[in-house]
Chains A and B, each alone.
Chain A
Amino acid sequence: MDKLLRSNVSRLLKKLSEHAEIYAPTMEDGVCVLSKLVNNYDDWTLDYVRTTNSVKDIFFPQNEEIMRYKNANNDLNIEPPKPFKERVAFGVRPCDAAAMLLLDNVFLEGEFYDSYYKERREKGALITIACEKPDQYCFCTSFHSSPGATEGSDIVLYPADDYFLVVAVTDKGKKLIKANAEIFENATEKSGIVENYKSMKTPIGNNCSPGELNEKLKNEFDNPYWKKIARRCLGCGNCTFVCPTCHCFAVCDVARGCDGKRTRTWDSCKFQDFFLMAGDHNPRPTQVERTRQRFMHKLNYFKEKYDKYQCVGCGRCVEKCPVGVHIADVITHMKEEL
């Protein structure tokens, strides 16, 4: 096993930056965001439980240009986006890394794949840092994961005194370590550090594990509980924007005359116009239908389709919802009721 001295992290990031964009948790006016480092490779921080934005930002950004077009004298000219750069996300949490696997299901599986996402994923690596101190919002353990889990990561770093124990998970991770071997050291210690992280329990623990809830939810389309929680919801959608697994988007053109660009931006089932159709019909006219959609998608439809729940227990929506709409609450309530 290798180890990486904390004092060597900046060096590693700088070295990686020679051929890749580097993203790492940084403090910005007291808020910890996963942001792109440019010449400031010392700015990464360990002082966070979860970054405000999730790692999905790097592979499925809030907005992206998918093409530019020009139509001069009926001569249509379409310009695809420039090839993406290699990218390394450093300091990702295990829950976020696991969430990337769920996005892979959506964007890469089956006959059609999302070329933009695919290219970014192929050119991206995830260096995860195991969680030393999960907080009251974390419940990854309810989703068969843990503060030390490796699923979805290329490399996982396990914090110990003044270094990290390094576990290479994928071939990509192994190559990355090999290419930068001079920055890593041999770890001789044979302690149970990694196992400790893997068996660590979050404060909510695994009490909110949905189990077979998806089966039971099938018949609960009209459950009055949706109305009860929806009454509280402001419809701000911030639960879906901060979620590493939410992936709905809209495509829109920004054009002046016949010249313009086509962009893709995040959208949210919580917004009142998300489902508005031509002719002004809205099949989800109130917050009740929208709230039900969010939870049914996560706890039923997604599971039916991909055999996984669409939540990794990162706790962001829970921390950020201004009025306490809580997915673990929904799970526990439904488990008790059904």
Chain B
Amino acid sequence: MMNMTEKMLEQIRDLFEKKNIKLFIGFEKGFEKFSRIPAFAENYDEAKSMIIDEFETPLLAKYLIRELGEVGAGAVEKSERVGILTRGCDYLSIRRLVVDNIILRENLVIIGIPCNGLIDPKKANKLLGEEAQEITVDEKIVLAKGEIKSREINKEEILLDRCKKCIMSKVEESDILLEENMDDMEVSKDYSAVEEIEKLTTEERYEFWRRQFDRCIRCFACRDACTACNCRKCIFDITEPEMLEKTVATSEQFMFHFIRAFHVAGRCTACGECEKVCPVDIPLGLLNGKFKKDIELLFDVDEAGIPAEIEPLGEFKLDDPVEW
């Protein structure tokens, strides 16, 4: 039986042979043993190093803006398409770009793969107490081997943070599905961390966020990794007038973080990428989660942020109960 990587490669070869795509975006091995990094192939040969497995990967959708979007033009039809390897989370992000009119679905060839959660190798190392040299996954059991110890670990325990909160493990509109979608992962809506913050007094809450925001180095990685952050020119990059002082004072930090959170409110797909890429571990998911929770409550929707033609914060009603 062919494994998933082989199946993918076969499809990619086919796509290039039929001249269906000009580029394929997937993953390959990085420098470290378990790092999986984005890879770009313009022909089948370049794609040969691509791989599918269960280790942590970044999301790929954001690259589509650069590869397919036209700055300032809105989505336009392209003569050549781009193929992309897609899990559920990536699929939501792709849909975000399509719904926001950044790219056209027709310009894409989506190779969908089922997913029941990715492994965070750092967590495995921590549990093992040393750097794992070998990690093998058998359904729900992970075997991690180091130089000294080896240990069986429940996959649950070392799931990537974002996978624990996954709201979409299926790819609904793939052009090619490598394997049947599995049943949805079991995820119960968990706002407990958000609720913990809600319980704090205003002063305590301020103190908590001040501490987090003061750590921020304003690299904007959170923005750069986010597919909901798809503005033509980000307000934080505008220098005339300067919306955000370059100085990293507390007031400016609050300004930046509030605006970032407001700008993705209702459009954030809860992919968790912003929190993952933050070099100083600011819990951005808590802020995004608060918005998500409130929108679900106030607008009576199941899952805020799922990209759709009409979204709670993107719809105008003449009989809106609240005035503008």
A residues in contact (CB < 8 Å) with B: 28-31, 33, 52-53, 62-63, 135-137, 203, 228, 231-232, 234-238, 241-242, 250, 252, 254, 263, 265, 268, 272-273, 318, 320, 322-324, 326, 328-329, 332
Which positions 31-63 of chain B face chain A at CB distance < 8 Å? 31-33, 35-40, 58, 62-63
- Per the bound structure, the CA–CA distance linking A286 and B131 in Å amounts to 37
Q: Does B30 contact A (CB under 8 A)?
A: yes
Does B131 lie within 8 Å of A324, measured CB to CB? no
**Is A29 a contact partner of B212 (Cβ separation < 8 A)?**
yes
Whether A238 and B221, one on each chain, are in contact in the complex, defined by CB atoms closer than 8 angstroms, is yes
B281 within 8 A of A: yes
Sample of 13 further A-B pairs with CB below 8 A, known A265-B246, A326-B32: A30-B281, A31-B280, A52-B281, A63-B248, A232-B37, A232-B38, A234-B221, A234-B224, A237-B219, A242-B217, A265-B247, A324-B38, A329-B31
A65 to chain B, nearest CB (A): 8
Inter-chain contacts of B215 with A (CB < 8 A):
28, 31, 33, 52
Query: A323 contacts which chain B residues (CB < 8 A)?
Result: 37-38, 58
Q: Does B156 contact A (CB under 8 A)?
A: no
**Total A-B residue pairs with C-beta atoms closer than 8 Å?**
102
B277 interfacial by beta-carbon distance below 8 Å: yes
- Contact flags (1/0) for B159-179 with A, using CB distance below 8 Å? 000000000000000000000
- Docked Cα-Cα span, A318 to B279, in Å, equals 11
**B212 to chain A: which residues have CB within 8 Å?**
29
Among residues of A, the one whose C-beta sits closest to the C-beta of B283 is A29
Kindly state the separation between the CA atoms of A136 and B220 in the bound complex, as whole angstroms: 26
Chain B neighbourhood of A273, CB < 8 A = 237, 239
Which B residue sits closest to A33, measured CB to CB?
A: B215
> A255 to chain B: closest CB distance in Å?
11
Report the minimal beta-carbon distance from A262 to chain B, rounded to whole angstroms.
11
| Interface assignment of B211: CB less than 8 Å from any CB of chain A | yes
Interface residues on B, range: 35 or more
Query: B37, B40, B211: which has the most chain A beta carbons within 10 Å?
Result: B37
Would you give the shortest CB distance from A116 to chain B, in whole angstroms? 15
B32 partner residues in chain A, CB cutoff 8 A = 136-137, 324, 326
Provide 12 A-B residue pairs closer than 8 Å at the C-beta atoms, listed in order of the A residue: A28-B211, A29-B281, A31-B280, A33-B280, A52-B280, A53-B217, A63-B249, A232-B40, A234-B225, A322-B221, A322-B277, A326-B31
Known: A236-B221, A272-B237, A324-B31. A63 touches B37 (CB 8 A): no
Distance A238 CA – B222 CA, assembled complex (angstroms): 10
Chain B interface secondary structure, helix, strand, loop or mixed? Answer: loop
Cβ-defined contact, A235 with B224, below 8 A: yes
Taking CB atoms, residues of chain A closer than 8 Å to B36 are 324
Is B245 an interface residue when CB atoms closer than 8 A count as contact? Answer: yes
Q: How far is the CA of A324 from the CA of B35 in the complex (A)?
A: 7
Name the residue among A62, A228, A234, A332 with the largest chain B CB count within 10 angstroms: A234
- The answer on a CB contact under 8 Å between B31 and A263 is no
Q: In the complex, what's the smallest C-beta–C-beta distance from B117 to chain A, in angstroms?
A: 19
Q: How far is the CA of A254 from the CA of B243 in the complex (A)?
A: 12
Residues of B with C-beta under 8 A to A265: 246-248
Per-residue CB contact flags for chain B residues 113-154 toward chain A (1 = under 8 Å, else 0) read 000000000000000000100000000000000000000000
Residues of A within 8 A of B246 (CB): 63, 250, 252, 263, 265
> Cβ of B293 < 8 Å from any Cβ of A?
no
Q: Which residues of A contact B248 (CB under 8 A)?
A: 62-63, 265
Contact residues in A for B217 (Cβ distance below 8 Å): 53, 62, 238, 241-242
